[in-house]
Structure 1
Amino acid sequence: MTEDFTVTIVANKVNKSQGGSNFSLDLIARTLVERGHEVNVVTLNLSSDNDPFPDREYDVYERSVSKQSLLTARPIVDVFDEWESTSDVYHVFSPLIAPYAGKYRRDGGSTPVLCRLNQYSMFCSNVSEMDGECHKNCSVIDRLQHSSDDLTTRALKSPLFVMQSNVFSKWGNCVDKYYAVSPRVKEIYSEYGIDGDRITVIPNFYNPDFMDDEPSIDTSNNQLRVLYVGRLSAEKGIDSLIESLSYVDSPVILDVVGEGDEKERLEEITKRVSGDSTVQFHGFVENHELRDYYDSADIFVHPASWPEPFSRTILEGMQSGCALIVTDTGGSAWAIGDVGKVVPPRSASEIGNAINAYMNNPKALERAKHKSRKRCQEFNPDDVIDRMRRTKSELVEAAMKTS
């Protein structure tokens, strides 16, 4: 395996306050640097500004391009041309950028490209509308109708939706290799039109520094504590989780950590259905404080209604030794294996039944917590990063032979 090569990560943004994929990028970059690689992160800033992580040993370069570049393609391809001479391999961190990296390769670019499939932005205009099957027949009209933008913005985006339908899969199949974060993501992209032989599965990995401190949240009342962490948006299914409280046998404490446009509606649902249970909305919590909520929780619930690829919060729940409840959509069920409970999406009663099963059998709850920590070791950074490095090394060696 080629040991010494330079990795250029091309991403939309690096923002420490915006979601799990940003933490994944930072973890991957830091770990590659620790393994002796030079790593540069180049951001296009199509939808957000950077707010980089502190104390990093990799450099971040902004090459901000306009959203119009998604239509003209050339400014994005130019970024790959610019960094070609100093890059042994490109690591593209957004599926939306992948087709442009493919066009770079199709047009004669010499640096191989590995792309992470961790979302559905290559073809989907609104993930809250995804049902696990719609990607097979998603038309331009569907994209326009599903978009949450206003009518004017939808009209302006319609040429992009045409490109997604007509050329994205063709350009995308010029990318050297993809890695999907779960088997379901590989399946969905293969059904969309990306050659399945180009896609391998390399999952997310846990952050070994996440559980450093003792918890500071008071758990002395002995009530069962249930936790949700993530955006408060429709596709996350938090309404089903809150509604499940009307099915639990005894009152619980539900901690909801995160911000989003669904918060007001969720608070209204809470007033109607929570009964004797307590629901606490904590808003956005910094990552170093987040571990307290996990460590004080008995059960972590990931109630997504869309085929979420592989949420980092599931890893954090396992790492913290929470019993797990996830929905049978996307990569969640695969991620937890046989160590937790899997329920149908959008089913408050089934979530409630799963909580009751843990609540009414303390020994089973403790076994589930133990198995959760053990399952987490399947996603340790050493193994996952080594697989990623081998894939990159193979691409670099193949490019050297070609040149």
Structure 2
Amino acid sequence: MKLALVTPRYPPTHAGGGEISARLLAEQLHTRDVIDQVVVYSFDGKSTETVGDVPVVRLADVPQYPYTLPNEIAYRKLAAVGLDCDVIHAYNMHLHPAVGRLSDALEIPSIATLNAYPLIDWSDVNVSPSIKRKLYEQTLLRVERPRLLEHMTNIDMFLPLSGAVEQVYRTHGLGTADYEVIPNMLDPSFEVPEVETEETDQVELLYVGYLRDSKGVQYLVDAMDHVPEGIELTIVGDGPEWDALTDRAAGTAASDRIEFTGSVPYEEVTRAYADADVFVHPGVWPEPFGRTILEAMQAGLPVVATDIGGPSETIPQPELLVEPSDLSSLSEGIEYAAANQDRIGRENQRLVEDRYHPDVVVPQFHEIYERILDN
């Protein structure tokens, strides 16, 4: 079987977890006997190279907005290449309409991973759009959306990262599509360094991620005034809410227990996990999955997360699923995690190996590829 993986960006060009997940999938498929060939086609430059033993063809640089333009460019470039494959797998959302259109034109079966909400008005998923994004939604996207969604209906199967993502798309234009939930897989190369720590009553909380209002970090900052003084918080990441969050933290009684590190390279973030005792994911939107949650669980940390979106399907301890934007619930979850961190950390390490190891997740993709070929 020959597979073409189409994605807007591919490492070393990356903006976050989506690109890391695309790399993991391509490299894992490359090592499996059932796949004869995997070729990645991306739109973040113009070159042909090998990344981690996987051929990567970068066909062009495309803009992000308006969506019609990058999809038109991608469609033409991919059609000109003349894809030699049995299945097209679209990843990281923005070019899914182009893949659907191409799948129909070339009569090549296609699947698409759903891991974001670019064609949906962000306010519908509790994300505050920037002024630029809001203007786009109110003008061009309103015109573009029906045709782009129509192209996506040519895709044979959608693979949402969670049931929450499936539900969003079922109610926003793809209600009659075929879905199969396949989660992200853990990164087997992700290793947390050994650190020597002194026995102490201090509890180190950790948040890793983008700083925007939908991530709920403002509630985590506020919750620091409601937890015991022996609890400290490190926030790793950057984003549009940086200034507002640092000002907010400075105004709390717990300001001396809150540290902002800014962005940390992916290769170095493992140190933050090693120094932490509890990971907190306080989002207030239907996060599709949450790769940092897998990383924290791999690191043996309990994870406190809001009971919304993909994270609510990943966290196995009901005591650690808290109400979004509820300071009391969040504080209680943090204190429970801190009191039971060793037991829960061990549970989490076992769970990610059992559910999210590539040996568990990759065969699910194989089964889908075979199914759509048979159909």
| 2:373 corresponds to 1:381 | no
Q: Shift of residue 109 of structure 1?
A: 1.8
Asked if the contact 2:46–2:60 (Cα under 8 Å) also holds between the matched residues in 1, the reply is no
| Structure-2 residue corresponding to 1:137 | none
Q: Shift of residue 208 of structure 1?
A: 1.3
The aligned amino acid for 2:152 is G
| 2:130 corresponds to 1:148 | yes
Q: Shift of residue 380 of structure 1?
A: 1.2
| Structure-1 residue corresponding to 2:346 | 370
User: Are residues 238 and 219 of structure 1, via their aligned partners in 2, closer, same or farther at CA, if it must alter by over 3 Å?
Assistant: farther
| Structure-2 residue corresponding to 1:96 | 94
User: Are residues 349 and 340 of structure 1, via their aligned partners in 2, closer, same or farther at CA, if it must alter by over 3 Å?
Assistant: closer
| 2:7 corresponds to 1:11 | yes
User: Are residues 100 and 210 of structure 1, via their aligned partners in 2, closer, same or farther at CA, if it must alter by over 3 Å?
Assistant: same
The aligned amino acid for 2:364 is R
Which whole-Å CA distance do the structure 2 matches of 1:51 and 1:183 have between them? 37
Which whole-Å CA distance do the structure 1 matches of 2:189 and 2:22 have between them? 15
| Structure-2 residue corresponding to 1:112 | 109
Taking structure 2 as the reference length, the TM-score comes to: 0.89
| Structure-2 residue corresponding to 1:44 | 43
Which whole-Å CA distance do the structure 2 matches of 1:276 and 1:260 have between them? 20
**Counterpart among 281, 294, 314 of residue 260 in structure 2:** 281
Q: What does the per-residue CA deviation read over 1:46-74, in whole Å, with 9 as the maximum and x for residues that have no partner?
A: xxx69999951112222225447833654
Asked if the contact 1:7–1:89 (Cα under 8 Å) also holds between the matched residues in 2, the reply is yes
The aligned amino acid for 1:41 is V
Q: Shift of residue 328 of structure 1?
A: 1.4
Q: What does the per-residue CA deviation read over 1:176-205, in whole Å, with 9 as the maximum and x for residues that have no partner?
A: 111010011111111112145511000001
Asked if the contact 2:319–2:333 (Cα under 8 Å) also holds between the matched residues in 1, the reply is no
Q: What does the per-residue CA deviation read over 1:189-243, in whole Å, with 9 as the maximum and x for residues that have no partner?
A: 1111214551100000111111253237x56544101110011112111111111
User: Are residues 272 and 251 of structure 1, via their aligned partners in 2, closer, same or farther at CA, if it must alter by over 3 Å?
Assistant: farther
| Structure-2 residue corresponding to 1:163 | 144
| Structure-2 residue corresponding to 1:139 | none
More divergent stretch after superposition (388-397 vs 23-32): 388-397
More divergent stretch after superposition (33-42 vs 309-318): 33-42
| Structure-2 residue corresponding to 1:401 | none
User: Are residues 59 and 200 of structure 1, via their aligned partners in 2, closer, same or farther at CA, if it must alter by over 3 Å?
Assistant: same
% identity of equivalent residues: 24
| 2:275 corresponds to 1:296 | yes
More divergent stretch after superposition (194-203 vs 78-87): 78-87
Flag structure 2 segments of 5+ consecutive residues without an equivalent.
Answer: none
Q: What does the per-residue CA deviation read over 1:335-361, in whole Å, with 9 as the maximum and x for residues that have no partner?
A: 1133651111122232112222334xx
Which whole-Å CA distance do the structure 2 matches of 1:289 and 1:74 have between them? 37
Asked if the contact 2:4–2:40 (Cα under 8 Å) also holds between the matched residues in 1, the reply is yes
Q: Shift of residue 89 of structure 1?
A: 1.2
The aligned amino acid for 1:11 is T
User: Are residues 317 and 332 of structure 1, via their aligned partners in 2, closer, same or farther at CA, if it must alter by over 3 Å?
Assistant: same
CA RMSD of aligned residues (A): 2.8
| Structure-2 residue corresponding to 1:192 | 172
**Counterpart among 201, 207, 210 of residue 187 in structure 2:** 207
Q: How many residues align?
A: 369
- Report the 3-state secondary structure (helix = DSSP H, G, I; strand = E; otherwise coil) of the residue aligned with 1:8: strand
- Report the 3-state secondary structure (helix = DSSP H, G, I; strand = E; otherwise coil) of the residue aligned with 1:122: coil
Asked if the contact 1:84–1:111 (Cα under 8 Å) also holds between the matched residues in 2, the reply is no
Q: What does the per-residue CA deviation read over 1:14-56, in whole Å, with 9 as the maximum and x for residues that have no partner?
A: 24452111110111111111114422211124xxx69999951
Asked if the contact 2:39–2:57 (Cα under 8 Å) also holds between the matched residues in 1, the reply is yes
User: Are residues 85 and 54 of structure 1, via their aligned partners in 2, closer, same or farther at CA, if it must alter by over 3 Å?
Assistant: closer
Which whole-Å CA distance do the structure 2 matches of 1:395 and 1:387 have between them? 13
User: Are residues 169 and 110 of structure 1, via their aligned partners in 2, closer, same or farther at CA, if it must alter by over 3 Å?
Assistant: same
| Structure-2 residue corresponding to 1:325 | 304
Which whole-Å CA distance do the structure 1 matches of 2:248 and 2:136 have between them? 34
- Report the 3-state secondary structure (helix = DSSP H, G, I; strand = E; otherwise coil) of the residue aligned with 1:210: coil
User: Are residues 296 and 74 of structure 1, via their aligned partners in 2, closer, same or farther at CA, if it must alter by over 3 Å?
Assistant: closer
Asked if the contact 2:320–2:336 (Cα under 8 Å) also holds between the matched residues in 1, the reply is no
User: Are residues 115 and 131 of structure 1, via their aligned partners in 2, closer, same or farther at CA, if it must alter by over 3 Å?
Assistant: closer
The aligned amino acid for 2:54 is Y
Q: Shift of residue 277 of structure 1?
A: 5.5
Q: What does the per-residue CA deviation read over 1:142-167, in whole Å, with 9 as the maximum and x for residues that have no partner?
A: xxxx641449x936982333121x22
Which whole-Å CA distance do the structure 1 matches of 2:52 and 2:374 have between them? 28
Q: Shift of residue 122 of structure 1?
A: 2.7
Which whole-Å CA distance do the structure 2 matches of 1:69 and 1:131 have between them? 20
User: Are residues 300 and 101 of structure 1, via their aligned partners in 2, closer, same or farther at CA, if it must alter by over 3 Å?
Assistant: same
The aligned amino acid for 1:384 is V
- Report the 3-state secondary structure (helix = DSSP H, G, I; strand = E; otherwise coil) of the residue aligned with 1:91: strand
Which whole-Å CA distance do the structure 1 matches of 2:73 and 2:268 have between them? 40
More divergent stretch after superposition (206-215 vs 154-163): 154-163
